[in-house]
Amino acid sequence: MSLALVTVGSGTVAPSAARTSPAHWVERGDVRLLMDCGAGTLHRLAEFGLEWQRVSHVALTHFHTDHFGELPALLFALRHATKREEPLVVLGPAGTVRLLRSLADGFGSWMLDPGYSIAVLDLKPGEPFPLGGGVLLDVHPTPHTPESVALRVSAPEGRLVYTGDTGPSDELAAWAAGCDLLLAECSLPDALALDLHLTPRRAGALAQRAAARRLVLTHFYPEVETVNIRAEAAAAYSGPIAVARDGDRFEVGK
């Protein structure tokens, strides 16, 4: 058995012909975890041959629309385009339950009673949530929005850390220490650096401080693609680097 990652959407809120908004698929056995669910996710899942109908968990990193905006469509598709009977668990930072209730106020009560069992839970740092089959999900605050968190998936094969959106953070590096794969946002070039996002060089520095075995970069605004992303990250990180595209696949711990 393996812990697999597919970078379903490697873009941002900026429309792109090549990159859809953030979404990442993690699979191990019966665990099919969708990390974030931005615009374009459902069609990308189908395009890449992923069993979206059998998604077991959705985990959100924060409440910017490019990270959760297609969640209502996913719940609607599972209601009307499948014969789903399995439960679905929606997880996220503090406020996730409130967010889903607010969405149900606008879209309709079916969102919380879609015809299959659905559980919505706020995750707390330091309290790992069991996804099944020995796989755990934990969260850690990141400097982006008040609720923003990184996600850590721990399995017998290894550990995957997804930064979500974040600025530089020594605390995040310590929490991610020794991870087998660091999936890091890489929004902007150094010339446009913001405290609430990473540049390629900052992502590399985060991976180096965390002693990550592998760095996979994602969440690219068009401006960052005008520089040599890999070379910039490699200036700060000595390990293997992948500049993700939509649909790229990785094995964690191998």
| Contact indicator for 216, 229 with CB cutoff of 8 Å | no
| Selection from 179, 170, 242 nearest residue 206 by Cα | 170
Q: What distance in Å separates the CA atoms of residue 184 and residue 205, rounded to the nearest whole number?
A: 11
Domain boundaries, the chain: 3-252
Q: What distance in Å separates the CA atoms of residue 190 and residue 60, rounded to the nearest whole number?
A: 27
Q: What is the maximum span of the chain, computed from C-alpha positions, in angstroms?
A: 51
Q: What is the pLDDT along the chain (254 residues), one digit of tens a residue?
A: 889 999 999 999 999 999 999 999 999 999 999 999 999 999 999 999 999 999 999 999 999 999 999 999 999 999 999 999 999 999 999 999 999 999 999 999 999 999 999 999 999 999 999 999 999 999 999 999 999 999 999 999 999 999 999 999 999 999 999 999 999 999 999 999 999 999 999 999 999 999 999 999 999 999 999 999 999 999 999 999 999 999 999 999 76
DSSP 8-state symbol, 128: P
Q: What distance in Å separates the CA atoms of residue 149 and residue 231, rounded to the nearest whole number?
A: 27
Residue spans of alpha helices (H) in the chain: 41-47, 65-68, 71-80, 96-107, 170-175, 200-210, 229-234
3-252, what's its fold?
A: Metallo-beta-lactamase; Chain A (3.60.15)
Q: What six digits make up the tokens of 155?
A: 């399995």
